[in-house]
Amino acid sequence: MAAAALFCLAAAAVPEAGGQTVREGDSGPEKMVLTLDECRSLAMQNNVNVRNAGLDVLAARAQKGEALAEYFPKVSVNAFGYYAFDPMLEIGVKDILGDSDMANNINSWIMQNAPLYGIDPVYSTMKQGYSATVSVIQPVFAGGRIVAGNRLAALGVEAAGLQNSLQRRKSVEEVEQQYWQVVSLEEKMKTLSSVQEMLDNLEKDVQAAVEAGLVPGTDSLQLRLKQNELKANRLKLNGGIRLAKMNLCNSIGVGYSPYRTAGTDSLPYIDDISFADDLSGLQSPEAYWKDEREIVASREESRLLEISVKAKEEEKRMALGEVLPQIGVGASYGYNDMMFDDARFNGAVYATLQIPITDWGKYSRKLRRYDYQVQKEQNRKEYLEKQLLLQVRQQWLDLTVNWEQTEVARESVMAAEAVVRQMEDHYRAGLVSLSELLEAQTSLRQSADALVDAEIAYRTAVSAYLGEAERASM
């Protein structure tokens, strides 16, 4: 590690009469330490996009249950009742015999004598009534639409599951990037601390040389300016670390307090949250190589492309079912008291057959439209599969390029370390100026930061190239 090398240089310059290790007291909230695996796990539990993708899976399963219900009989209970202010049906003699002399004579006789016997001369009914019926309808054949609908719903469940896995993968990648961003900034903070310590140790030599008149007094001022510049950079970098930590904590659902005085065990101060993983353990690209076809086949995107084609084919089958015969059977039983005062229970069984005739022209064009959509989806699948293969090849290229850049950056750090050691010796011997030494130290810090950036970029490239299971084992 570049920061570790700088620490070694700083330690070599520390006088043996040295210092003292300061430990924090036991009072106050404990620090929280998170590993990369814990951050991944917390993201799967708390990330809002992952939770919503899980709800989409549950919704797809519920929709599949809806489609499955189409196989079973439909049972319904129907009830009806009415009350009329006047009877809706009245029948007299004339209504039966017509308007004739005989009918008039009979009607007159009935009108005169019916009241004597308590008989209504006009028969009236349907003033009130009610009925209640239980019906059962079982579809026998619906043109294959029920079967196609269930297949489509099953594809929807599988697609939702793949989308959930895809969202989990994306969320893990985002959390990993945020995690390594924090680690990167903390590594750069270590580098700044190392350089600061080197300058603090150099200050004693510069001050002694100025007092002895061996170097001009401007060296002391120049060193002080450099120290202040580093302090300003530390303050700026510390703010960046806090912001990066807060961003990561928001992504994984970990609570924190941005205020030191408000920190507790359950809500730690942001500076009391640290991360355990570092940039060690990186291997060369050959250790991660996998067959590109195998990688493409394992990606959720490949299976989603296959599902999109199958879904269009099932939609075509459902459209075809609209022009095929539909057969159903049913039965009903109930109580009826609607008219003629003839209330009773009754039942019936029946069958239905529906054969569309006039819509063949319309649906033939509809089927042709679905044929075009299936072909379009097939073309899209073939194109995107090639793009997925290209993406995997690009990820491998990024992996190898970033590894080479890491090797170059590591060599640069080693060279910069050697230059700084040599410049320190030359400065003490009066062969180089302080500005040259400070410039060499600045180059070392820049090289160390470049190495950290290269290692972060390489680890990110490895994460993008590998699948979720392989990333978890890194």
**In the prediction, which pLDDT does 310 show?**
93
Whether the pLDDT of residue 472 is over 60: the answer is: no
Query: Is there a contact between 399 and 465 (Cβ–Cβ < 8 Å)?
Result: yes
Q: Which residue has the higher pLDDT, 123 or 149?
A: 149
pLDDT of amino acid 411: 94
Residue 93 falls inside a structural domain = no
Residue 375 lies in a domain: yes
Instruction: Round to whole Å and give the CA distance between 277 and 39.
Output: 11
Among residues of the chain, what percentage have pLDDT more than 70? 90
Closest CA to 206 of 37, 26, 472, 424: 424
Closest CA to 35 of 256, 237, 183, 255: 183
Residue 81 inside a domain? The answer is yes
Quick: pLDDT tens for 306-349.
Answer: 999 999 999 888 888 888 888 999 999 988 887 666 788 888 89
Percent of the chain with pLDDT over 90: 34
Q: At residue 259, what is the residue type?
A: Y
The tokens describing 134, both together, are 């239980």
pLDDT of residue 28: 52
Q: In terms of C-beta distances under 8 Å and separation of at least 24 residues, what long-range contacts does 373-379 make, across chains too?
A: 373/312, 373/315, 373/316, 374/309, 374/312, 374/313, 374/316, 377/308, 377/309, 377/312, 378/309
Cβ–Cβ < 8 Å for 461, 402: yes
Q: Is 376 within the bounds of a domain?
A: yes
Q: Is residue 251 part of a domain?
A: yes
Query: Tens digit of pLDDT for each residue in 410-428?
Result: 999 999 999 998 988 888 7
21 pLDDT tier (thresholds 50, 70, 90): very low
* Residue (of 216, 254, 240) closest to 43 by Cα position: 254
pLDDT at 16 exceeding the cut of 70: no
Residue 23 pLDDT: 38
Question: What confidence tens digit (pLDDT) does each residue in 81-103 have?
Answer: 888 787 777 777 666 777 777 77
Q: Which domain holds residue 44?
A: 30-88+126-472
The helix/strand/coil state of 331 is: strand
Residue 139 lies in a domain: yes
Q: Which residues contact 97 (CB under 8 A, 6 or more apart)?
A: 103, 106
User: What total number of domains does the chain contain?
Assistant: 1
455 pLDDT above the threshold of 50:
yes
* Sequence-ordered list of residues with C-beta below 8 angstroms from that of 347, at least 6 positions apart, any chain: 331, 332, 333, 334
Identify the residue with better confidence: 50 or 429.
Answer: 50
308 assigned to some structural domain: yes
Residue 208: CATH number of its domain: 1.20.1600.10
DSSP 112-139: HHGGGGT--SSEEE-SEEEEEEEEEEEE
Q: Does residue 23 form part of some domain?
A: no
Direct distance between the N- and C-terminal alpha carbons of the chain, in angstroms, rounded to an integer: 19
In this prediction, residue 1 carries a pLDDT of 45
